[in-house]
């Protein structure tokens, strides 16, 4: 096997679920909004040993930057269904006991509100899609590590 063969690199996530808590918004020192929340994603499967249907829930942390973060703060709450597109990112922190911990999260570049919490003046909008673009027109993929407020 040739170890010099280059393989394509891809880091793309598409996930749909419901918020497990209200969104938390903070701002970087430069004033950029960053919103974080977790979503619960359910998977139904049939247990072959008992022949019963069961449900498995996975909790996924989501991070949203910029104008999308502000929209999420205004439009989402615990239980809101969302469709998220983005990339996986790993961050590391030290817990209270001094142990280094890794956290895998989705950094969103596109959010679609599926229904649920909608302000009165927007009651007709069942689904809204947000995609943050930079000046060149490409999707933003996050902010540098020096910008992260947590």
HEC sequence for 82-137: EEEEEEEEEEEEECCCCCEEEEEEEEEEEEEECCCCCCHHHCCCCCEEEECECCCC
Tens-digit pLDDT profile for residues 54-70: 999 999 999 999 999 99
Block residue for tokens 């673009």: 133
Check pLDDT > 80 for residue 3: no
In a domain, 107, yes or no: yes
In a domain, 51, yes or no: yes
- Supply the pLDDT for residue 4: 78
Name the β-bridge partners of 67: none
Euclidean distance between CA atoms 33 and 44, whole angstroms: 35
In a domain, 146, yes or no: no
The neighbour count for residue 109, using CB atoms within 10 Å, is: 23
Tens-digit pLDDT profile for residues 57-107: 999 999 999 999 999 999 999 999 999 999 999 999 999 999 999 999 999
In a domain, 6, yes or no: no
pLDDT band at 121 (very low <50, low <70, confident <90, very high): very low
Mean pLDDT of 2-10: 80
- Supply the pLDDT for residue 8: 82
Domain range enclosing 100: 13-134
Query: By the 8 A CB rule, do 61 and 41 touch?
Result: no
Domain count, the chain: 1
In a domain, 140, yes or no: no
Considering only CA atoms, which of 55, 15, 54 is closest in space to residue 37? 15
% helix / strand / coil in the chain, to the nearest 5?
10, 50, 40
Mean pLDDT of 24-43: 96
Mean pLDDT of 129-145: 43
Name the β-bridge partners of 130: 111
Mean pLDDT of 15-34: 96
The CATH number of whichever domain residue 59 belongs to comes to 2.40.50.140
Query: By the 8 A CB rule, do 12 and 55 touch?
Result: no
Check pLDDT > 50 for residue 31: yes
Query: By the 8 A CB rule, do 52 and 44 touch?
Result: no
- Supply the pLDDT for residue 122: 47
């Amino acid at each position: 096997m040739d170890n010099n063969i280059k393989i394509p690199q891809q880091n793309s996530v598409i996930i749909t679920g419901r918020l497990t808590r209200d969104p938390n918004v903070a701002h970087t020192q430069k004033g950029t909004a960053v919103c974080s929340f977790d979503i619960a994603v359910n998977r139904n499967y049939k247990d072959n040993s008992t022949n019963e249907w069961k449900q498995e829930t996975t909790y996924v942390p989501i991070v949203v930057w910029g104008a999308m973060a502000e929209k999420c703060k205004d439009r989402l709450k615990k239980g809101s269904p969302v469709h998220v597109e983005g990339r996986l990112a790993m961050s590391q922190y030290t817990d209270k006991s001094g142990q280094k911990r890794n956290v895998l999260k989705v950094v969103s570049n596109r959010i679609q509100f599926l229904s649920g919490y909608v302000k009165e003046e927007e009651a007709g909008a069942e689904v809204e899609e947000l995609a943050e673009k930079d000046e060149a027109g490409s999707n933003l993929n996050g902010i540098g590590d020096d910008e992260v407020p947590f």
